[in-house]
Amino acid sequence: MRTLLIALLLTSVAALGAAESAARKSMEGAWKVVEVVVTGDRAENTPNAQPGLFIFGQKHYSMMWVRGGKARAPYAGEVPTTEEKIAAFESFTANTGTYEVSGSTLTIHPMVARSPNFMGGASSQYQFRVEGDSLWLTEKSADMRYRIGGKVVPPARPPSETRLELVRVE
């Protein structure tokens, strides 16, 4: 009986590992952002998203995308004003690092990010679903962690959720 129980446990662990590997494999490639829906105090619905690209390798990811429904405004001159820099910073999300998959949860660990507080131990979790050439990512603000004052903590802002729809480009 004990041998049977051990065999069942090993089979279950192997099956779970294979399922997670298949889920990770289904995400590998390059994905273009096509729709963004944000809930909460900064709610937005952008059915025709601005440029964005997510790339997933075997262990590493990179994501860059423009927030909101309007194209980013170019700087008026060669040297941007402080206001132009702030607007550019606020309209753009960029980070790259490693990721892991567990079931339908994607956890990213940024090595480099637009925001320095989203590096060095920070993370974010997404619920994901892949169907054919479409990938949906849902991130709840409570599932994010930032580095503040030497500690990794959840954000202090009101709860929100960001849902991204992406289509495979490669």
Q: What is the pLDDT of residues 135-169, one digit of tens each?
A: 999 999 999 999 998 899 998 888 999 999 999 99
* pLDDT (0 to 100) of residue 19: 47
Domains and their CATH numbers in the chain: 2-168 (2.40.128.280)
Helix H or strand E encompassing 82: helix 82-90
Residue 155, token pair as written in the block: 């954000």
Residue type, position 160, single letter: S
* Rounded-to-integer distance, Cα 130 and Cα 117, Å: 30
* Dmax (CA) of the chain: 77
- φ, ψ of residue 2 in degrees (nearest 5): -65, -40
* Rounded-to-integer distance, Cα 164 and Cα 170, Å: 18
Burial of 138 (0-12, 13-18, 19+ CB in 10 A): middle
Spatial contact of 24 and 101, defined as CB atoms under 8 Å apart: yes
Taking only the tens place, the pLDDT of each residue in 95-127 is 999 999 999 999 999 999 999 999 989 999 999
* Rounded-to-integer distance, Cα 142 and Cα 40, Å: 12
Taking only the tens place, the pLDDT of each residue in 48-90 is 899 999 999 999 999 999 988 888 999 999 999 999 999 999 9
Q: Return the ∠ at Cα 50 (arms to 147 and 140), rounded to 5°.
A: 40
Taking only the tens place, the pLDDT of each residue in 11-53 is 655 544 544 567 778 999 999 999 999 998 888 888 889 999 9
